[in-house]
Amino acid sequence: MSGAAGSIEDRIQTSLGASIERSERLSGGCVADVRLASLADGRRIVVKAGELGSKLDVEGRMLGYLAEHSSLPVPEVFIGDDDLLVMAYIEHGGGLGTSGERHAAEILAALHNIKPTDAGEAQNAYGLGFDTLIGGLPQPNGWDDSWASFFAKRRLIEMAEQSAQAGRCDRKLVARVEVLSGKLDELIGDASPPGLIHGDVWSGNVLAGKGRVAGLIDPAIYFADPEVELAFITLFSTFGRAFFERYDELRPIRKGFFETRRDLYNLFPLLVHTRLFGGGYLASVERTLGTLGF
């Protein structure tokens, strides 16, 4: 690390009590430079360094929330500042296989069983007491007793508006999303009670080790109908049949999820990717809206 890295190294040494001996760049990171660093005392850490306004403190806060309120394997956070996030490095390598997918189902089912009041929140509602991020984009929360209302306003319409403001889609698409959002009550039916979700379970955020899930990183947490997490997993084929069979044993998947609600819930990550990348993701949003009759 060079340039402004001197001050970063000083902050790390002050906080962790050991200096950085060497570092290497890691892949990933939407808003920050990400490196694996070795400390003089033998520890290895992951260092995310960004500009002021990077909101890396939000990522640190989400990881801390998961560590405090769940058994999900997440990295320990040493520094969680706006421009600097320092975490323990989780040893990993290799694939998951069938046993690893079953393990993933077990730890995510346990996560989804956590209600807001289990985490010390004042109410059992959908959302979270602080705003979060997904892929570096604002993810507003707050609380709502209605899952359909929360998902409509704070996920679908919010991300469609962000995409339009960034020039990734036109107002006609926003209007289509708004019309669909007005029908969410009947499309969703009786929602599952709010459960804590990771929010961004794609393969790049799943660290495998010895045929099990060694860690999950880069969360986008809130309390949701957990089906929204399952839908995301199918969108990018993070896990396969073994995962869903084991999950269904632990938390039975309601009828109609694979037939209808999966596509409905995947509108949100498709809108996120439209906002970030445009192109083919916008076409996927339009196709999904058409399939759903909007």
Sheet with 20-25, side-by-side order of all strands: 20-25, 33-39, 44-49, 84-88, 77-80
Assess contact for 11 and 1: CB atoms under 8 A.
Answer: no
Sheet with 195-197, side-by-side order of all strands: 142-144, 126-128, 222-224, 195-197
The CB density around residue 30, as the number of other CB atoms within 10 Å, is 14
Amino acid at 39: L
Distance in angstroms (rounded) separating the CA atoms of residues 58 and 100 = 29
The residue to which tokens 């060694």 are assigned: 214
Q: Is the dihedral of CA 56, 61, 64, 66 positive or negative?
A: negative
Closest CA to 187 of 223, 152, 222, 232: 152
Among 83, 200, 218, 263, the one annotated catalytic: 200
Beta strands in 145-237 (DSSP E): 195-197, 206-209, 212-216, 222-224
Closest CA to 111 of 246, 190, 224, 243: 224
Distance in angstroms (rounded) separating the CA atoms of residues 106 and 270 = 26
Q: Is 200 a catalytic residue?
A: yes
Active site residues: 200
